[in-house]
Every structure is written in structure tokens, then in C-alpha cells.
Amino acid sequence: MAVSKNPHDSFFKAVFARPELTGEFLQQFLPPAVIAELDLSTLALRKDSFIDEEFRQQFADLLYAVQLTDQSQAFVYVLFEHKSYPQPLMALHMLRYMVRIWEQGLRESRTALPTPILPIVIYHGADAWREPFAMAELFRGPETMRPYWPTFIYQLNNLTAPDQPALDGTLYLRVALLVLRAILKPDFLAQLPLLVKWLAQLTREYLAVEYVNTVLRYITSVRKDVTVPALRQALQAAAVEDKETLMTSWVEELIQQGELQGEQKGMTVEARRLVTRQLQHQIGPLPASISRHLDRLSLDQLEALSTFLLDARSLAEVETYLKQQR
């Protein structure tokens, strides 16, 4: 599966490409009568995408094969709308992709009949979804023409609808749904304490480090207000134990992935400026050797030096301290 540069697309596929999470999601959100027909233990991901290139910044999709209780097969096709606004012709888009799935299936097995497809749309935009679910609703004309209209409906899961149920299920699914529900909302930071509490739990109890990193990469790439201070404040508000240890590991991972490089660089420059002013205030003009050494210090080292300077009184003390940092 190709790696997408769109953070919404990447996060959707990282979560819902896991059959166990997709099965749990379907169990929660599909009508019970439909679930009764599906053997969710047989979900198998098909590594295909059916979206036109021009729509890849708008949709992401995953296709699953699943066995029905009568031993026949069906497909579950999940389309994620990540442009944050409803699509009036969603049924038409869905029909196009369903036809492509059927065409591929018929090419693979020329004697087979088309396999039933359960089409699902996941939406997390702020605007209410008022678009028709039924393909037939897109047509207008006399009732006598109705037999000639395509008829199917897609299942919509509007994650930001006011009547969404409380978050339930495994911690993995609750984290994913919380993020998808809140990521585009103005008050996302209000959800951050609960989110980091759950991420801390995943890190410690389930050792789900890669999953946690996936979540952190997503939220820091989409939300520019999720900064290092914001994460630290959320950990404090959530009363998470060992928060500094967690914070260090999270930030290091994000820096390695390139998500916080710009912010980290800016914070380092600002810290170096403040430490330089602190040194000048306490010991006077700085030798060029001190300035060069400051340029090589990391953010953590600059913060430690700032604390040391609270008690330092001479240039010799500072030079001795800096030699120890080499």
C-alpha cells in the first residue's frame, strides 16, 4: 500500500488497515441485523484503492473481504471523506468505486457473479451531513421511470454528529475515534488531557509504542496548536505519572519523524538567546569561545545551563561547566 502524504489519509489507513480495529468499529456502528450476517473474524484486507487520482486529496479507501454466515463472500468498502465538508454526490462516487470493485472481481474469476458490497462512508467534518444516502434520491422524474434508476444506499458514520454514542471498546479504538471526532474542531486542546492519558496507558500497559507514535504524528501534523508545551500541560492536567519520561520519549520520536523539527529549532534558538542574555547580565561580555559553545548545545542542555546559572557567579565556573558538556 502506497504511503500517502496526506496526514488524514495516512492515519485512516494506519488505523483501519488493522482487521481487529475495523471489526470492532463495524460491530459498534453497523445495524445489528447487518452485523448478524457478517463473520467479522474472517475480515481480510485487500490492498487495492479504487479512487481517481483527482480525488485522492479528498477521499481515502480500504476494501475488506468478509465471509457471511451462509458461507458466501461479501466486501466491506470503507470510504473516508477527509476534506471536512459533505459531498452532495457521495452516492455517485460510491457507485463508481463499487463498479470498479465488481469489474476487478470479474476479471479475477470470469465465471463468478458480482460479490455483494457493503459501502460505508466515514465523515468527521464540522458541517451537518444532509446529503442523500440512497442513489435513487439523486434522480428526478416521473414515478414510471423509477425502475430504471440505480438503487442502493451507503452506510454513513458521521463521527462528529451530536448524537454520536459515548466512546466505547478497546483503548485502541477509543483513541482513534476520539482523535477523528476532535481533530478538526476548534476546541481540540480541551480533549488533549484525556487523549494523552489514554496514550500513556497504551504505552505502559500495552506497549503499543508504534500505535502511539502514529497518533502523535497525526495530531502534530494537523494541529499546529499541539506543541511541546501543550503536550506537557495536558500530561500535567491528566495527572499522568512519569510524565517527563513519557514526554521525552514522545518528543524524541516526533523529532526523528520530522514532525517537530521546526518547532524544536525555534525553541532552541529562543533558549540560546535567553541564556546568552542571562550570562551577559551575570558575568558581563562573553568571550567568543563561550558563544561558540552555546551554539553547539541542545535545547535540554541550554535549559540545564539556565538552571546552573542561578547559582554561578564567575566566568570560570561557567567555563568549567561547559567543558563538562562536551
Grid coordinates representing 31? 445495524
Torsion angles phi and psi, residue 153, rounded to 5: -125, 155
Buried b (16+ CB within 10 A) or exposed e, 131-167: bebebeebeeeeeeeeeeeeeeebbbbbbbeeeeeeb
Give one word for 149, left, alpha or beta, with left for phi > 0 and alpha for psi -120 to 50. beta
Q: Per residue of the chain (326 residues), give pLDDT as tens.
A: 344 468 999 999 999 999 999 999 999 999 999 999 999 999 999 988 999 888 888 889 999 999 999 999 999 999 998 766 778 899 999 999 999 999 998 888 766 788 999 999 999 988 889 899 999 999 998 989 999 999 999 999 999 898 888 999 999 999 999 999 999 999 999 999 999 999 999 999 999 999 999 999 999 999 989 988 889 899 999 999 888 888 888 877 776 666 655 555 555 666 777 788 888 877 778 787 787 777 777 767 777 788 787 777 788 888 888 877 76
Domain map (residue ranges) of the chain: 7-158, 186-259, 265-324
Instruction: Give the predicted TM-score (pTM) of the model.
Output: 0.76
Count of alpha carbons within 13 angstroms of residue 28, beta-carbon side? 18
Complete edge-to-edge strand list for the sheet that includes strand 73-81 = 38-46, 59-68, 73-81, 117-123, 155-158
pLDDT of residue 120: 97
- Determine the Cα–Cα distance for residues 113 and 116; give it in Å rounded to an integer: 9
pLDDT of residue 3: 43
H or E, element range at 38 = strand 38-46
Number of Cβ within 10 Å of residue 267's Cβ equals 17
- Determine the Cα–Cα distance for residues 204 and 242; give it in Å rounded to an integer: 10
